[in-house]
Structure 1
Amino acid sequence: MSSAPVPGFHNPEIFEVLPNACLSPTARDVFDILSARQHPGGLVRIRQQDIAERLGLTQPVVSRAIGQLRDKGILSERQRKGEVLIHPLLAAYESLSHMTNHLKSPDTFVWPLNFPTGDVRPPRARDARTGTSFDPDPDDGEDSPTPETPPALRLAG
């Protein structure tokens, strides 16, 4: 059994903008598994075949998902067989001070994330409402009025 401390501290601000990466559901599932299996600082020792078995997928599907995570900068391009490295800003640490020291260390390689990290989430490409006057909340958060009389209920059959 490993005696490595279990990482428990994440940078909450970067996880607020993670939806901006527009990951496929499979890539998000793979990232969740990698996050759960990581050592402090983001190193994960796992084979793609193990991830595929856990998710009930084929290894090529998992490989494509890992490729998407690499393209977005979430995983490092540099890796050895059976190991992946989660971006230092998305990695888990033992504490806030451990994360700060790790990020300030000259030995830590911090590569760019390839998705918007601002406050605005880009619209989904396949959203039919994009460019229309559709308002998902026309009442601006006001409660809808309750009906004056309850609807009549009848039994089916």
Structure 2
Amino acid sequence: MNHDNVPGFHNPEIWETLPNARLSPTARDVLDVLTTRQNAGGLVEIRQHEIAKRLGISQAAVSRAIGQLKDKGILDGRHRQGAVLIHPLLAGYESMTHMINHLQDPSTFVWPLNFPTGDMRPPRVSDARSGTGFDPDPDDGEDAPLPDTRPTLRLAG
């Protein structure tokens, strides 16, 4: 990895829509490894066996995850073996200016993402709590009230 151009800026809006891709946990882990190893602009030079070793999974699982990332448009599959390109909208850059310049460059290929990138993510059909009014934090983070009286303790015996 070229440490002169360490990518520190990511487009936060597109990352908020990433849950819409419905990636498998393995695909998300592989994407995390790829984003940490990328050069500015999204080029990642890493072999599947290195990812497998780093995550402690089989190379076949890494291959399936990379296939899923390519199917969703997150990775471009047109690069030589041992290198992948993260979608320009999801890639890391040196700064916002670098990202804008890269995206406006006529030589930058911006392929379509194959998942919804709208503002709101619809609730998952498989979520049993959908439409039930379930509130995971009904008291808005306030401490639960203490009981009025302490229970009497009895010794077992």
Question: C-alpha displacement at 1:152, in angstroms?
Answer: 3.2
Paired residues, number: 156
Q: Which residue of 2 aligns with 1:59?
A: 59
- Structure 1 residues not aligned, in runs of 5+: none
TM-score relative to the length of structure 2: 0.86
Q: Which runs of 4+ in 1 moved over 3 A?
A: 1-4, 137-145, 150-157
Task: Report which stretch shifted further, 10-19 or 46-55.
Answer: 10-19
> Alignment partner of 1:62: what SS?
helix
Q: Is the 8 A contact 1:20 1:121 kept in 2?
A: yes
Identity of aligned residues (%): 60
Q: Is the 8 A contact 1:4 1:39 kept in 2?
A: no
Q: Distance in 1 between matches of 2:44 and 2:59?
A: 17
Matches within 5 A, 1:33-112: 33-112=33-112
> Alignment partner of 1:4: what SS?
helix
Question: C-alpha displacement at 1:146, in angstroms?
Answer: 1.9
TM-score relative to the length of structure 1: 0.86
- Structure 2 residues not aligned, in runs of 5+: none
Q: Which residue of 2 aligns with 1:146?
A: 145
More strand by share: 2
CA RMSD of aligned residues (A): 2.6
> Alignment partner of 2:6: what SS?
coil
Q: Distance in 2 between matches of 1:16 and 1:141?
A: 24
Q: Is the 8 A contact 1:30 1:62 kept in 2?
A: yes
Matched, 1:118 2:114: no
Counterpart of 1:62, as a letter, is: V
Q: Distance in 1 between matches of 2:87 and 2:108?
A: 10
Counterpart of 2:10, as a letter, is: H
Counterpart of 1:80, as a letter, is: R
Q: Distance in 2 between matches of 1:28 and 1:150?
A: 49
Q: Distance in 1 between matches of 2:154 and 2:75?
A: 56
Q: Which residue of 2 aligns with 1:9?
A: 9
Question: C-alpha displacement at 1:156, in angstroms?
Answer: 9.1
